[in-house]
Amino acid sequence: MFSPSRQVQLRRRYGYSSGSSDFDLLTSTAKAAVERPWLRPFEVQAFSKAPLTLTDRDRDFFIEGATHGFKHIAQNHGLTPSEMWEKVEEGLKAVGMHADDLDDVQLLVFGWKPLTTEMLERYRWRYPDRCPLLDVLCTLDDTCEKLNEVQDWMLKLKGAKNRRRLDILPELPKTDAVRPPVPCL
């Protein structure tokens, strides 16, 4: 296939040379970096609090309430799942959810990705004051009892005093609201 000298050149290029190489000098540094806990600055602050451990039952309660609330709001307002997600995504971006977390939330509300207890615990500490998903859903429509129960539970867990409506996000019109007629073109 390759001549022996070419194989040696390729092996050196990819760090397989015998003896010391630049890669050998970085072994201890790389090992230390791999073993170091990678936390965002705000996660470091959150972990200074005493962490409470969530159970699988807590996780199931959260998932059931959030997904039920997502579907309930979409059905009550005649929205397709993708239209509902657009509204939720807009709200999550407005409250400052990180772009890398948006994919996980989307997969969660559509039921495509299970949320482990560890993931829920990590998100709970990443957003220490409030739960962005629950805040956005309850702002869009606060008539879903199951969703309200989950939000009350999460706020109590986080030590928040009360529910609040997000001023940066418009509430969806009530299902019995009078809508203006559509102008004819």
Confirm if 66 and 154 have CB atoms less than 8 A apart: no
Q: Between residues 27 and 19, which one has the greater pLDDT? A: 27
C-alpha span between 77 and 82 (Å, rounded):
13
Q: Render pLDDT for 129-176 as a digit per residue (tens, 0 to 9).
A: 888 899 899 888 888 899 999 998 988 888 776 665 555 666 666 655
Cβ–Cβ contacts within 10 Å for residue 109, how many? 22
Asked whether residue 59 carries a pLDDT value surpassing 60, the answer given is yes
In terms of C-beta distances under 8 Å and separation of at least 24 residues, what long-range contacts does 126-130 make, across chains too?
126/40, 126/42, 126/43, 126/46, 126/101, 127/97, 128/42, 128/45, 128/46, 128/49, 128/158, 129/158, 129/160, 130/95, 130/155, 130/158, 130/160
Evaluate the CA torsion angle 59, 62, 65, 66 in order and state its sign.
negative
Locus of tokens 């709001």 = 73
Q: Render pLDDT for 82-92 as a digit per residue (tens, 0 to 9).
A: 999 999 999 89
Enter the pTM of the model: 0.63
Asked whether residue 45 carries a pLDDT value surpassing 50, the answer given is no
User: How high is the mean pLDDT of the chain?
Assistant: 74
C-alpha span between 20 and 14 (Å, rounded):
13
Asked whether residue 44 carries a pLDDT value surpassing 70, the answer given is no
Q: Render pLDDT for 27-36 as a digit per residue (tens, 0 to 9).
A: 666 566 556 6
